[in-house]
Chains A and B, each alone.
Chain A
């Protein structure tokens, strides 16, 4: 469970360009909940996601994950619970490293990166089988640099990498914003499948109202650093896509 309590985030405090990005956010996300956050640019949705991830710390308020107060914990410690997919496909993978190296690192996300060689034949086999499940034909390219793949392929692999190690929370920051419609579809379907299969708690930030309508079992809208709408599973199922468009009217 993720609990965000009275969180404020002010950028450039006291300067002319001061931004009140988050203005008292209270949010509780239950285990297994797939929360979709929509909102205009500058509404604070990505800031909220980054605060949960620990990319930066809140100005005030507390954040808990699984009952642990993580408010002051840096991002690389929160990886114990959290896996991330970034908006930019380049951010979630290391382009010059082979696909195999990328997967090895992902497979020890919550563990020590020790001085032993972790890539064994059985590990390779395991990675190949996992990648084959995507049906993209990438399983025979695991020695290739990640950078030789397309953005869509990289996002799909990033998703797969997030469940290589124990994962409780999956953060998706506009994962399809840089992709063509077909790749975007594959990535979102893969995400949905993995979230259900592994029972992940997930947060999706998106500008795509169709995705917001199709995926997830709870949706919130943010405006000016505040949560203005919060629709739970029961009500989201009867929500129509046009209702979402009306939110932005």
Chain B
């Protein structure tokens, strides 16, 4: 497959997880590690349901609900048991490993012969282009839904929760409930990426989620750099930048790998790249001040 097209497809698959991390990390200020588990959960549920010959309109809602459930668990542990959000996420992620294994019954499920969403719906005779159009539609629709949500009164309350908790409570918002809903939403989006990636790569694997939170984070940090650069407060523009962040991130990683770096070093390269984009703005600040 064409290098650019396949990278673009992978980037678009990541748009949902990037939106999810944007919600948990930037809007709610919660570093949510559940992501690694809920991404795999999304993939695992997809594979299991496809093996059971379930149609798309069953698979997709179940995947989203499963992700939301994982996020709800983290949210409940964090808010009701007053446990540090990072720890709450790690706990749920760890537990999900067993859940995922239990669902699959083994460590991976290949989906070679099962009909995927990419060959049910046909926009183009070229399968790669077809895949591109389908993941694009997913990316656009999720962005539209999240964008609309953030513009509503409920969305303003969401955005304010991570920004000034004392204010939001004084204005009649149950911040615990809001955080639980936010984490559920973030992980539902994460599971959606798990669904798309599993459909795209044609298998689900127990270790597919390792380090995925870093990928999502990388996309969001790239987006944030642009958001600060443009000094935008527009919800729509921010979300478009998050989407671009996911695609840029995938392209940089793909370019690095195409230089001939051993694919076993993929996670190391990813981590170093995220470290770079996190630290570069700070380093340049230091030298200028």
Contact = CB atoms under 8 A, between A and B. Distances in A.
Given A94-B160, A97-B156, A104-B156, A84 B170 contact: yes
Nearest to A98: B233
A12 interface: no
A76 interface: yes
Interface in A53-99: 53, 74-77, 79-80, 82-84, 86, 90-98
A116 B160 contact: no
Interface stretch (A107-115, A183-191, A236-244): A107-115
Given A74-B169, A108-B153, A118-B152, 8 more contacts: A76-B172, A84-B170, A93-B167, A94-B168, A102-B160, A115-B154, A117-B153, A118-B153
Would you call the interface of chain B mostly helix, strand, loop, or mixed? helix
A109 B233 contact: no
Contacts of B163: 94-97
B170 A105 contact: no
A113 B164 contact: no
B167 A110 contact: no
Nearest to A80: B172
B166 interface: yes
B255 interface: no
A101 B170 contact: no
A77 B172 contact: yes
A101 B156 contact: yes
Q: What's the interface size class on B, roughly?
A: 20 to 34
Nearest to A86: B166
Contacts of A92: 164, 166-167, 170
B220 to A, nearest CB: 15
B81 interface: no
Contacts of A90: 164
Q: Contact residue range for chain A?
A: 35 or more
Contacts of B157: 105, 113
B151 interface: yes
A22 interface: no
B52 interface: no
Nearest to A164: B171
Interface in B155-180: 156-157, 159-160, 163-164, 166-175
B11 to A, nearest CB: 27
A224 B159 CA distance: 40
B172 A110 contact: yes
A114 B172 contact: no
Contact of A79 (B151, B164, B171): B171
A77 B159 CA distance: 20
B147 to A, nearest CB: 11
A31 B233 CA distance: 41
B149 interface: yes
A53 B168 CA distance: 13
A109 B168 CA distance: 9
Contacts of B151: 117, 119
B149 to A, nearest CB: 7
A86 B166 CA distance: 9
B233 A145 contact: yes
Given A83-B170, A93-B164, A96-B163, A76 B175 contact: yes
Contacts of B166: 86, 91-92
B158 to A, nearest CB: 9
Nearest to A101: B156
A28 interface: no
B154 A114 contact: yes
Nearest to A147: B163
24 contacts: A74-B174, A76-B169, A76-B171, A77-B172, A79-B172, A80-B172, A83-B170, A86-B167, A93-B167, A94-B167, A95-B163, A95-B164, A97-B233, A101-B160, A104-B156, A108-B153, A108-B171, A108-B172, A109-B172, A110-B172, A113-B172, A115-B149, A115-B154, A118-B152
Which of the listed residues B156, B174, B175 has the most CB atoms from chain A within 10 Å of its own CB? Answer: B156
Nearest to B161: A94
Interface centre among B149, B169, B170, B173 (most CB of A within 10 A): B170
Given A105-B157, A143-B233, A76 B174 contact: yes
A106 interface: yes
B152 A116 contact: yes
Nearest 8 Cβ contacts at the A-B interface: A79-B172, A94-B163, A94-B160, A94-B164, A113-B157, A91-B166, A84-B170, A118-B153
Contact of A76 (B153, B173, B233): B173
A79 B153 CA distance: 17
A79 B175 CA distance: 13
B185 to A, nearest CB: 13
A79 B152 contact: no
